[in-house]
Amino acid sequence: MAEEDKVDDASSPNLAEEFDEIAETPNQVGLSDDSIREITDALHEPENDNHVALIEELSNADTADLLQKISEDDRKELLEKNDTEIDPQTFAYMDSDLCKSTLSAMSASQVAQIISELDSDDALDLIENLDEDFQQDIIKQLSAKTRIAIEEGLTFPEDSAGRLMQREFVAIPEFWTVGKAIDYLRAAANDLPSEFHDLIIIDPLYHVVGEIPLNRILRSKRSTRVKELALDELHTVPADMDQEEVALIFRRESLNSAPVVDNDNRLIGVITFDDILDVIDEEAEEDILKLAGVEGDDLYRAILSTTGNRFRWLFLNLLTAIAASVVISFFDATIEQIVALAVLMPIVASMGGNAGTQALTVAVRALATKELSSTNMLRVISKETLVGTFNGIGFAIIMGVIAALWFDNQTLGLVIAAAMIINLCFAGFFGAAIPIFLDKIGSDPALSSTVLLTTVTDIVGFFAFLGLASIFLI
């Protein structure tokens, strides 16, 4: 019996060592596929808990990666067997849709236990995606302090600073000295946030009057008053400010953190740069997906839900394609006489669409970052129009020569060259103008621009090419 124990004891460390070697593959960012297979194989071994040791070696981000990539059955089994080994912070790293479905499968008390161990901002981020009835069941299980913080957070608008902020911060009175502040930080170490970068100075009414980076505290004499060390500019953020606006402030001012205030300018929370990194990533991802007609990251969404969301966009594209086809039908007699037109038509429309998309992408990005406004609007549109025209001239020469040699028809070459210049000129103009117009009327440029631009470039391209052909070739 002793020998068998020795064999088992020897095999476990070897397994962990092998896993460490796999997980620490050079240049590997995140959890490798070999590591995932190692864990799932161990998970499926009956009466064997080697997978527990493997999971304990993972960071929270890697554990989230593991849960996202394994099958639904494996994920359920892994969570059931390792509910105490998985850090609650892991769920903060998971995809929002997958996290919602995973937490929804748990009991309210289990989710409440997870939320209770998270910072207030991460806790709110998890619970706000759950169904309202389930939210209330969870909230009933929370401590009074956590419950008040969650309920208050849910009252703020979605995607606002109030939803983004954490309620753990360090605020000190304006009359304190550096020595008093340091003594306070040491004495209250267990009650302070796990990480913080600035001290917030407040008056007796809890109004924010200044911010002090920690490095200024550490480099100053104990007798120095904290108010003398405050930054020259105060960057308070209203709780109802959109998170995208907050991200722009952080980027422009290079902030580590910013205090969040209510309507009376009283301190209620703080936003840190790590939260803003997530916002910047989310906003960029959202714009990219909208340009393709995808409503949010649906990688982990149910098949029918994903199908329904994409169907609406594809249906709109179908209507615009019919509009372009109607234009073609006006010149059906011309196409019947010159078959080469049917061969060359897609080239004109495709080049216009691609050129327009380039201008559109630049404009949408500039609008999102506030680099494009009424002051430089005309300059940007003029530039993109000229860029489209110059590219149109260049490709007109190339395609004109190709078409003339291909079909032995110089006039056909001139027609497609002229159509190319016209369409790329319009593509540059509308590629920049459409997002600006949509932004002016309050519509989301990232969501609506692409389908409108495609319609314009198709109609202009077909009309110019077939119209010129009917004039000069028939």
Query: Per-residue pLDDT averaged across 303-308, rounded?
Result: 76
pLDDT of residue 300: 65
Instruction: Report CA Rg, the chain.
Output: 30
Pick from 74, 72, 60: nearest CA to 31: 60
The confidence score (pLDDT) of residue 14 equals: 52
pLDDT in tens, 196-253: 889 999 999 999 999 999 999 999 999 999 999 999 889 999 999 999 899 989 988 8
- Strands 198-202, 171-173: parallel, antiparallel or unpaired by DSSP? parallel
Q: Return the pLDDT at 9.
A: 43
pLDDT at 17 over 70: no
Confidence check: pLDDT of 344 > 60: yes
pLDDT at residue 293, rounded to an integer: 64
pLDDT surpasses 90 at 461: yes
Question: Mind listing the domains of the chain with CATH numbers?
Answer: 2-159 (1.25.60.10), 171-272 (3.10.580.10), 303-472 (1.10.357.20)
* Residue 262's pLDDT band (cuts 50, 70, 90): very high
pLDDT at 10 over 60: no
Provide mean pLDDT across the span 408-429. Answer: 95
User: Token digits for 345?
Assistant: 């038509």
- Mean pLDDT in the chain? 85
Tokens 């969040």: give the residue.
260
Average pLDDT over residues 285-292: 70
Instruction: Note the pLDDT of residue 20.
Output: 52
Helix (H) or strand (E) holding 211: strand 208-213
pLDDT at 299 over 70: no
- Burial (CB count within 10 angstroms: exposed 0-12, middle 13-18, buried 19+), residue 293: middle
pLDDT value at residue 177 = 94
Beta-bridge partner residues of 270: 166, 259
DSSP H/E element including 222:
none
Task: Give the residue among 74, 73, 66, 70 at the shortest CA–CA distance from 91.
Answer: 66
- Asked whether residue 282 carries a pLDDT value surpassing 80, the answer given is no
List pLDDT tens digits, range 48-95. 677 777 788 888 888 888 888 888 888 888 888 877 778 889 998 888
Tell me, what's the pLDDT at 40?
85
Tally of CB atoms within 10 A around 453: 24
Confidence (pLDDT) at 465? 94
- In sequence order, the β-bridge partners of residue 237 are 260
pLDDT at residue number 443 = 85
Residue 471's region, left for phi above 0, alpha for psi from -120 to 50, else beta, is alpha
Please report the pLDDT score of residue 460 as a whole number.
94
Give the model's pLDDT for residue 25.
Answer: 47
Is residue 417 within 8 Å of 392, Cβ to Cβ? Answer: no
Query: What pLDDT score does 310 carry?
Result: 72
pLDDT of residue 7: 40
Give per-residue pLDDT as tens, 86-100: 888 999 888 888 888
pLDDT single digits (tens) 348-401: 999 999 999 999 988 988 888 778 888 899 999 999 999 999 999 999 999 999
Please check the confidence at residue 172 and state whether its pLDDT lies above 90: yes
Q: Is the Cβ–Cβ distance between 416 and 472 less than 8 Å? A: no
Mean pLDDT over residues 19-25, rounded?
A: 48
Task: Tell me the two tokens of residue 399.
Answer: 């395609």
Q: What's the average model confidence in pLDDT over 40-46?
A: 81
Mean pLDDT throughout 400-407?
Answer: 94
Segment holding 397, helix H or strand E: helix 377-407
Can you read off the two tokens belonging to residue 125?
Answer: 């981020």
Please spell the DSSP secondary structure of 146-166, one letter per residue. HHHHHHHHHTSPTTBHHHH-B
- Let me know how many helices (H) and strands (E) the chain has, helices first: 21, 6
Q: Is residue 381 within a helix (H) or strand (E), and if so which, with residue range? A: helix 377-407
- pLDDT over 90 (residue 303): no
Task: Give whole-number Cα distances, 222 to 179, 181, 209, 212, 427, in Å.
Answer: 4, 9, 21, 15, 64
Q: How would you list the strands of the sheet with 171-173, edge to edge?
A: 171-173, 198-202, 208-213
**Would you call 390 exposed, middle or buried from its count of C-beta atoms within 10 A (0-12, 13-18, 19+)?**
middle
